Amino acid sequence: MEIEPKTREIIVSFLRNIKSKKISKTKMEELKDEILRKTDIRMINLSTLKRMVKKVAKEEAQAKKIEEAKIESISGFKPVIVPITTHAFQTIIMYDLNASKRTLQRLNERIAQIKETSKNQSAEFKQKLSSELSLIRKELEKLDSKLEQIEKQLMQKTKK
């Protein structure tokens, strides 16, 4: 649902004047009348208006959060450190490790595809590509072994 800029302005100004979270039906009727008066919209039902108000309120809240984050980063405030349990942290690390392994797997599959498609190229190109692919594959194997070492260390720390 696309909301016209003029209607959005009216809803935003209306929301600024409202102090509570819930909006009564009479207030919604007032907003409806104001929108009908100030815009070229002929008719609007309350359920549509309610959805529009929710959408605008949500977008405004997000914009405000983004603005606060920008101000915070500009002014140099320290970020809030949220305490996290060891188990939750380990779960996050395991998830990241598994995602990294899947990425390495996909890269290896892609390398195999490239090698397969390069078979009908010239000999010089094949040789260069083959050497590059072997270097990339070696790097991927190193990364994979490092990931396995980290996973083993994490498992040992989990057992303690």
pLDDT tens string 75-117: 555 555 556 666 677 777 777 888 888 888 888 888 888 878 7
Mean pLDDT of 130-155: 83
The CA–CA distances, whole Å, from 10 to 41, 42, 78, 97, 117 equal 13, 16, 37, 49, 59
Condensed to tens digits (0 to 9), the pLDDT of residues 59-75 reads 888 877 777 666 555 55
**pLDDT, position 155:** 77
pTM: 0.42
**Tokens 């490239």 sit on residue:** 114
Question: 94 CB contacts (<8 Å, ≥6 apart)?
Answer: 151, 154
Phi, psi of 116 (to 5 degrees): -65, -45
Predicted confidence band of residue 2 (pLDDT cuts 50, 70, 90): confident
Condensed to tens digits (0 to 9), the pLDDT of residues 11-30 reads 888 888 887 778 888 888 98
